[in-house]
Amino acid sequence: MRIDSLRLVNFRNYAQQEVCFSDGVNLVCGENAQGKTNLLEAVFLLTGSRSWRAARKSELVSFGQQQAMVSADVFSRSREFALRLGFSCGGRSSAQVNGVRLKSPGLLSETLRCVLFSPEDLQLLRGAPEKRRRFLDTALCQLRPRYAQCLAQYQKVLEGKTSILRKSAERPDMLALLPEFDERLVTLGACLMEYRARFCALLAPVCSDIYSDIASGREHLTVRYQTVSSVSDPGADRKTLERELSEHLASHRQAEMRLLQCLSGVHKDDLVLEIDGRACRAFASQGQTRSAALALKFAERELFFRDSGEYPVLLLDDVLSELDARRQAYVVGHMPGGQAIITCCEDTGRFSGCRCIAVAGGRIL
């Protein structure tokens, strides 16, 4: 999968611009506030996902303009595609593939997929479990549509249960519905757990190997899926998971009724990351944090490749800062068989074999 060319009209600080990318590593370089991240954001939007940093579509449209357009020529599934995404200040957007309008921009993901690393992803290591759960969920939703359905159903049932618990202060009769909701949470929860455990079993060794390479074998990263305490082995069969999860929910029911909130379940799952046996969240340095977040993203890309036979486009925003020269060389030099677009402020002269794209003031030089 690769992007051959990208065109922007009234997008952020770009009035009208075309840029060509090569297969392999593309380094987008320039000083601060010139338009490097804006370029990555435009590519990312063509995957049908929402921008990771814009609260509203109107923020994407150049100041003083009403409409913006991003389009690209993409090579995917052994074919050429022309993708086009337009959006207005009013928040409307429309997407096309090869001139045919899509029902929803989200369907662009069938043609273009990206793995993005942005500075916000450092929260994968430092932030609350929710960040790591979202990483798992996003990766699994892309790989397995059945997982996405199961997750949506689980969230709906969980909202229902939360609402019953809240209302039960005034309507205690509603508590009679709880066992039924817990039963659904057990079935759906065990399904999510099975997918997550399988994914993590594949992710962990790949991630460890990549981290060892980044750190030149000096440190060892381990990744482990952590779910509710009553489940002794998340890799167990579905029936065992359901039984253990059911016991777990039952053991929390009294406390949930007392506090009027859902306390435990797979919606609290986490990924535990340790470097040389110490929790990254508490002990990792800046460079280690960045390297471990990168290893997770590179591993996600690798698993996607194993699943589909194609590497998603890798977008790395501001990844090189805080990495020493050895780790930087690994990131830029170790990208076998896929396309990467990497933004950086530094002098790129020492990275050979990459295409350099210089950006200044919303223009490609």
Which partner in ligand ATP, Mg ion, none is near 38 (CB below 5 to 8 A by kind)? ligand ATP
Closest distance between Mg ion and the C-beta of residue 149, in Å? 35
Q: 59 or 307, CB closer to ligand ATP?
A: 59
Q: 13 or 230, CB closer to ligand ATP?
A: 13
Among 17, 34, 37, 142, binds Mg ion (CB under 5 A): 37
Which partner in ligand ATP, Mg ion, none is near 291 (CB below 5 to 8 A by kind)? none
Q: 38 or 168, CB closer to Mg ion?
A: 38
Closest distance between ligand ATP and the C-beta of residue 30, in Å? 6
Q: Does 118 bind Mg ion (CB under 5 A)?
A: no
Q: 131 or 363, CB closer to ligand ATP?
A: 363
Closest distance between ligand ATP and the C-beta of residue 54, in Å? 8
Question: What is d(CA 343, CA 279) in angstroms, rounded to the nearest whole number?
Answer: 29
Which partner in Mg ion, ligand ATP, none is near 176 (CB below 5 to 8 A by kind)? none
Closest distance between ligand ATP and the C-beta of residue 14, in Å? 8
Long-range contacts of 177-181 (CB under 8 A, 24+ apart): 178/253, 178/257, 181/157
Which residue's beta carbon is nearest to the bound Mg ion?
37
Specify the DSSP class assigned to residue 61: B
Closest distance between Mg ion and the C-beta of residue 295, in Å? 22
Q: Does 34 bind Mg ion (CB under 5 A)?
A: no
- Name the site residues for ligand ATP (rule: CB under 6 A): 12-13, 30, 32-38, 59, 61-63, 318, 345
Closest distance between ligand ATP and the C-beta of residue 161, in Å? 41
Closest distance between Mg ion and the C-beta of residue 328, in Å? 17
Amino acid at 347: D
Which partner in ligand ATP, Mg ion, none is near 270 (CB below 5 to 8 A by kind)? none
Question: What is d(CA 238, CA 182) in angstroms, rounded to the nearest whole number?
Answer: 16
* Whether the Cβ atoms of residue 104 and residue 96 lie closer than 8 Å to each other: no
- Residue 96's SS3 state is strand
What is the C-alpha end-to-end distance of the chain, expressed in Å?
A: 26
- For 319-341, the DSSP string reads -STTS-HHHHHHHHH--TTS-EE
Burial of 129 (0-12, 13-18, 19+ CB in 10 A): middle
* Whether the Cβ atoms of residue 43 and residue 3 lie closer than 8 Å to each other: yes
Give the residue among 297, 286, 277, 296 at the shortest CA–CA distance from 340: 297
Q: 140 or 340, CB closer to ligand ATP?
A: 340
Residue 234 tokens read as: 């998340």
Q: 26 or 37, CB closer to ligand ATP?
A: 37
Q: Does 26 bind Mg ion (CB under 5 A)?
A: no
Specify the DSSP class assigned to residue 286: H
What pairs with residue 8 in β-bridges?
A: 17, 70
Ramachandran angles phi, psi of 31, nearest 5°: -75, 175
Q: 192 or 331, CB closer to ligand ATP?
A: 331
The residues of the shown chain that bind Mg ion, judged by CB under 5 A, are 37
